Amino acid sequence: MNLRKLAAALTVPALALALAACGGGDEGGTSPSGAKLVKADTLTICTHLPYKPFEFNEGGEVVGFDIDVIKLAADAEKLETEVVNIGWETIVSGEALNSGKCDVAAGAMTINEEREKVMDFTEPYFEATQALMTKKGAGYASLDDLAGKTIAVQEATTGADYVAENAPKDTKIITLEDSALMMQAVKSGKADAGVNDNGLLYDFVKSNTDMEITSEFQTGEAYGFTVKKGGNDKLLEALNKGINDKAAYDEVYKKWFGEAAAQ
């Protein structure tokens, strides 16, 4: 699994799952550093669940690597955190931020030119590749082996783009709304293989021993968090400080991946 560098200020505030759009009726506020907030004293995070281990529900609380990295910045700003679960397309289009549903968007989101046109990204906080997951022993070691077969992908992801561009022409591609449906399609036999980010698929394989990762595709991807385009430079600065606090970042990284981030 690919690794990286970075980090931020320690401690972890409380996390609540917001079931409805934030910002409606709340007069908002600013953080101590001047970051704009849709809800006073709270850093509101939009994400799309589940995407384990980056963000997922555990015991009624949203947890994960992305959430803990953002909490580093929130803690330094003396803010609580609240999570809004929202459609992925609403996030990557910039609509969630533009409509005031949240202050920051997260979701193991690859930085690319299309998304940079509609959102402002932090510095990269995680490097990733795409991976190929199959049933154990199925014998599919590459996309070429899947000619005439079915590959499951998650909509609006770089994995979906990679398969569309690189799979054999007679490959059937099924596009599913979220990562859980994509992975279950492979496990249930609805699809012969699936492609998505390596961190997500390795975590799934750990608890599903009938599955395996047979290949990785070096796509040079890096994840970033996003704020409203041209609208929250102070929050962007606070998030970048968190990402670049190496000691705190490494502690979060080890919590979720069992080892320090590669330099």
- CB-based contact 102:81 (threshold 8 Å): no
**DSSP string across 204-240:** HHHH-TTEEEEEEEEEEEEE--EEETTT-HHHHHHHH
The CATH topology of domain 129-219 is D-Maltodextrin-Binding Protein; domain 2 (3.40.190)
Do 33-125+224-257 and 129-219 show the same overall fold? yes
What does the pLDDT read at residue 157? Answer: 95
9-18, 88-97, 138-147: segment of lowest average pLDDT: 9-18
pLDDT in tens, 191-204: 999 999 999 999 99
The share of the chain scoring above pLDDT 70, in percent, equals 88
The share of the chain scoring above pLDDT 90, in percent, equals 86
- CB-based contact 186:133 (threshold 8 Å): yes
1 band by pLDDT with thresholds 50, 70 and 90: very low
**In the chain, where the domains are located:** 33-125+224-257, 129-219
pLDDT in tens, 207-248: 999 999 999 999 999 999 999 999 999 999 999 999 999 999
Helix segments in 27-157, DSSP class H: 65-76, 88-92, 95-98, 113-116
Determine the Cα–Cα distance for residues 56 and 52; give it in Å rounded to an integer.
Answer: 5
Residue 46's CB is within 10 A of a number of other CB atoms, namely 26
For residue 56, pLDDT over 60 is answered with: yes
What does the pLDDT read at residue 7? Answer: 31
130 band by pLDDT with thresholds 50, 70 and 90: very high
Classified as helix, coil or strand, 263 is: coil
CATH assignment of 33-125+224-257, among 3.40.190.10, 2.40.50.100, 3.40.50.280, 3.30.413.10 = 3.40.190.10
What does the pLDDT read at residue 259? Answer: 76
Nearest to 89 by CA among 48, 150, 147: 48
